[in-house]
Chains A and B, each alone.
Chain A
């Protein structure tokens, strides 16, 4: 069954869809969109170094995504704002990564595959890594759900209830690093944030409850992956960007529906 590249693409895509839903909701609620983007950019340096030492890019990406996320959390608010630090690190990590790749003679590297993903080239061992990452992140968020949610609402309230919000932030940071690392092969460095944010933003219109919103975001992601892969096959378009386009389409339809409903009342 796993011999078919389309089947592998579907399984990889659904893994990403499930992991991005709860994390995407937190990214949207905590206004961390730029943070996700920066983590993904920084992962490119990890990709480059992995290629240099000839190991799986997922490990380098994971390490750099977590270093980036951790460093900005630690350094922000001292001399520079979080925004500035993210801008400095994210884009310079990306640039350094690209420069390093250019030095790697001998191997011809398809950079596009890392910037925009190459879901059709996912191997069986990639599937294992993607689903292991997905299950770890889902488990982490399910375990920390209440304290994470509480610290999103108010840090002091979280302290007063016996949870350290800085620790919760670290959990979220690690989850984000893992997600970025496992999604590089699926949608690529540049489109990861889209998969985090668009389904969550679309789901907002469907839910009156945080858990329901996560569930709805998961549904939107899964539909985007399935419909996106099908369309990319039919129209011969790049799969990663096509998946994001479908998610955007759902976002627009749901918002139009909401506006229309409001006008009727």
Chain B
């Protein structure tokens, strides 16, 4: 992955720690709207970090800053030299008129042979799909193929953008179990973005609660107990592993985010 291009001057300072990605004082704005304000964050080798936040809390902006899709107004995003990032997008714009097989899609970004392709598909939990057309896949299969593509080239970190949006509860749970399995097998770090708290929480080493700025962060159990988290997501999620998604009210998100200083 050619991420060197986005590495800032800060790279010159030799980083001696283990961080794969170091974000310092990141501020991102779109016109007059501030999406992110003074966000600092490290992702270390091998850990699973989950970023949660209501809609419009800057989750996607943070991710875009990491892959170089937005230019920060202030602050820096430092990527370890030569870091291999496996990016798993939220979805594809697959027009029904676009014919492409799974195998071909996998080979778009990495020049690989059929055997490596089959291994990656197996790691992602979908074998025998290589010949199928992308447009014929179910939501769950498509997510796994996207994961398989990201696994090609043995990334040191997987970056997932709301990867389970559009999957049902058991489907998401399966997908997260797969991620955990991949992490166990390959030892790669995982940075994921989600508002799908229920399943995510239990698999994360660290949870970062985002709402324009970082409200709170830490181990899953710690974060759920903080007043900031409860203000943002409501107290009904006290038991983090309760069936969260169904009781969640999006309107509530907006009303609570209006109380905070930064609104996107």
Chain A residues near B (Cβ < 8 Å)? 28-31, 146, 149-150, 152-157, 159-162, 200-201, 204, 207-210, 212-213
Tell me the residues in window 191-214 of chain B with beta carbons closer than 8 Å to chain A beta carbons: none
A150 touches B109 (CB 8 A): yes
A156 touches B100 (CB 8 A): no
Give the most central of A160, A161, A200: most B CB within 10 Å: A160
**B156: shortest Cβ distance to chain A, in Å?**
14
B109 touches A212 (CB 8 A): no
Contact of A28 among B2, B3, B93, B95 (CB under 8 A): B95
The interface residues of chain A lying within 8 Å CB-to-CB of B97 are: 28-29, 200-201, 204
Tell me if B133 counts as interface (CB < 8 A to partner A).
yes
Give the most central of A31, A153, A162: most B CB within 10 Å: A153
Contacts A146-B108, A153-B93, A154-B92 known; A160 to B101 CB distance under 8 Å? no
Tell me if B12 counts as interface (CB < 8 A to partner A).
no
A208 touches B64 (CB 8 A): no
**A80: shortest Cβ distance to chain B, in Å?**
15
**A18: shortest Cβ distance to chain B, in Å?**
20
The interface residues of chain A lying within 8 Å CB-to-CB of B94 are: 153
Q: Bound state CA distance, A29 and B93, in angstroms?
A: 9
Q: Bound state CA distance, A170 and B64, in angstroms?
A: 20
Q: Bound state CA distance, A207 and B100, in angstroms?
A: 9
Q: Mind listing 23 A-B residue pairs with CB under 8 Å?
A: A28-B97, A150-B108, A150-B109, A152-B93, A152-B98, A154-B89, A154-B93, A155-B69, A156-B69, A156-B89, A159-B69, A160-B1, A160-B68, A160-B159, A161-B1, A161-B109, A162-B1, A200-B97, A207-B99, A208-B99, A208-B133, A209-B100, A210-B100
Tell me if B104 counts as interface (CB < 8 A to partner A).
yes
Give the 3 A-B residue pairs with the shortest CB-CB distance, closest first. Answer: A162-B2, A160-B87, A159-B69
Per-residue CB contact flags for chain B residues 65-87 toward chain A (1 = under 8 Å, else 0) read 00111000000000000000101
